[in-house]
Structure 1
Amino acid sequence: MNGFERRTSQIKDKILHTTLRMLRTSDPKRLRIADVAKEAGVSQVTIYNYFGSKEALIREAFIAYFDQAIRDFETYLNEGHSLREKIERIIYMKTTYSDYSPSLIKQLLHDDIELARHIEVLYREVSVPLMIRIIREGQATGEISPDVSIENALVFMQLYMNQYELLLEMADKSEDRDTFFGKMAEMFFYGLCGRR
């Protein structure tokens, strides 16, 4: 990468990071290119030259965000964490949804077909194989029963993830969010009756 390409990449990254930071507190519909340009210290023309439109900018920002979240999770998987830690990370989406509300993500995916397609491909081609790897590793170490099929384990994890917004609301209403999620993890692993 030559100096010009490196500078272009740095400017684009700065614009994308600024956009993501602003979307933590701003509704995407109210986000203005002028505000992003001011925060990022670039001209509006620069943003339009790189991204073409506000919608494309938001799309590219979230594509970069989700791609990075997957890369971070792959790194996490290779760091020697326990099966429980790995599954908790999946269920509670500590990387993906911690910065943005589930309702915002749903709205973005509803409004932007290209972003939805990208996330679907990422889920099907990267996330599911990673979850299958975790399940197989857990079965190989005896931490997951060999009687549990990969399909059943995936469905069970998906049930939790589909209710993430509700779990988050309930955790926020509880006295201690960490304790709430800790108890949910206990039930995930051991059910209502506890360990056998």
Structure 2
Amino acid sequence: MNGFGKQTERKRSAIIEVAGRKLAELSYNRATMKEIAADAKVSQVTIYNYFGSKDELLIEAVRGMMDEQLEQYRRRLSEEADYSKLVGGIMLEEARFVKRIIACVRQSADSGFVHARLREYQDVQLAPFLIELVKKGVREGRIAEDLTEAELLFYFGMYQREMIRMLDGSDREERTGAAGAVSEERFIDFFFHGLLSPRFRV
């Protein structure tokens, strides 16, 4: 990478870092592009040239968070020997991470557009890891061998959609008291074991 390329990458990184910080502080929706540019020590024109819009900048910042989170999952996959602890830990972390993402998306100007873009990115990035995670379970006899990749992705997708709905408070008034009382841990337990009694679980 030449000097110009390095300078461009430094500016992009600085802008994304500022955006990520404001998202974490829940102040991104109130921040102007002028303020973001000043904090990143770049011009507003530079931000528009690199990202096009404030929502596109948000998407890039959240993608970076997703990449970091996925790297943590990969490290756990290589380090954790107990499969139940591995999967349970990853799913609990994912539930907490989804809360962060929901909070970020709510700070966008067009949450539907941003959510769709992030979902596409996550599907592409997360799918290979999920397949790898399941294959480990198959090798250890914890997961059925005859499941296809399409079936597994359908199952994980179903789980994730319902988890997002459960964690997103926007429809809270529509849910019954019983549904709203399901904890993250219980939800993950339902996902893996259904209604089976512990004595019948593998």
Report the TM-score when normalising by structure 1.
Answer: 0.69
CA displacement at 1:141 relative to structure 2: 0.5
1:118-133 map, 5 Å? 119-120=119-120, 122-124=122-124, 126-133=125-132
Instruction: Check conservation: 2:15, 2:36, Cα contact below 8 A.
Output: yes
After superposition, the Cα gap between the structure-2 partners of 1:147 and 1:5, relative to the gap in structure 1 and judged at 3 Å, is closer
Deviation at 1:72, TM superposition (A): 3.7
Shift of the 142–93 alpha-carbon distance from structure 1 to 2, 3 Å rule, reads same
Secondary structure of 1:78's match?
A: helix
Alignment CA distance shift 1:43-1:81 (3 Å)? farther
Q: Deviations over 1:84-117 (max 9, x none)?
A: 3443324762575242317827x7563259x72x
Question: For 1:154 and 1:80, how far apart are their aligned partners in 2?
Answer: 23
Structure 1 vs Structure 2 CA RMSD: 3.8
Compared CA separation, residues 17 and 27, structure 1 to 2 (3 A): closer
8 Å contact 2:98–2:164 — kept in the other structure?
Answer: no
Question: Does the CA contact (< 8 Å) of 2:15 and 2:40 recur in 1?
Answer: yes
Cα distance in 1 for partners of 2:191, 2:58 equals 35
Partner Cα distance (1:111, 1:184) in 2: 28
Kindly indicate whether the alpha-carbon contact (under 8 Å) linking 2:23 and 2:104 is maintained by their aligned counterparts in 1.
no
Deviation at 1:161, TM superposition (A): 0.8
Q: What residue number does 2:94 align with?
A: 93
2:141 is the counterpart of 1:142: yes
Q: Which among 166, 189, 192 is matched to residue 189 of structure 1? A: 192
| Per-residue Cα deviation, 1:4-47 (whole angstroms, up to 9, x for no partner) | 5444423321210211221341464x442012123334443443
State the match for 1:18 in structure 2: 18
The amino acid across from 1:48 in the alignment is Y
One-letter amino acid of the structure 2 residue matched with residue 73 of structure 1:
Y
2:113 matched to which residue of 1?
A: 111
Shift of 1:149: 5.2
Q: How many residues align?
A: 187
Is the contact made by 2:15 and 2:37 (CA closer than 8 Å) also made in structure 1?
yes
Question: Offset at 1:59?
Answer: 3.4
Query: Higher relative contact order at CA 8 Å, sep ≥6: structure 1 or structure 2?
Result: 2
Aligned to 1:160: 159
Q: Percent identity?
A: 24
Could you give the per-residue CA deviations for residues 119-149 of structure 1, whole angstroms, max 9, x where no partner exists?
Answer: 525524x422221222121011012233655
Q: 2:70 maps to which residue? A: 70
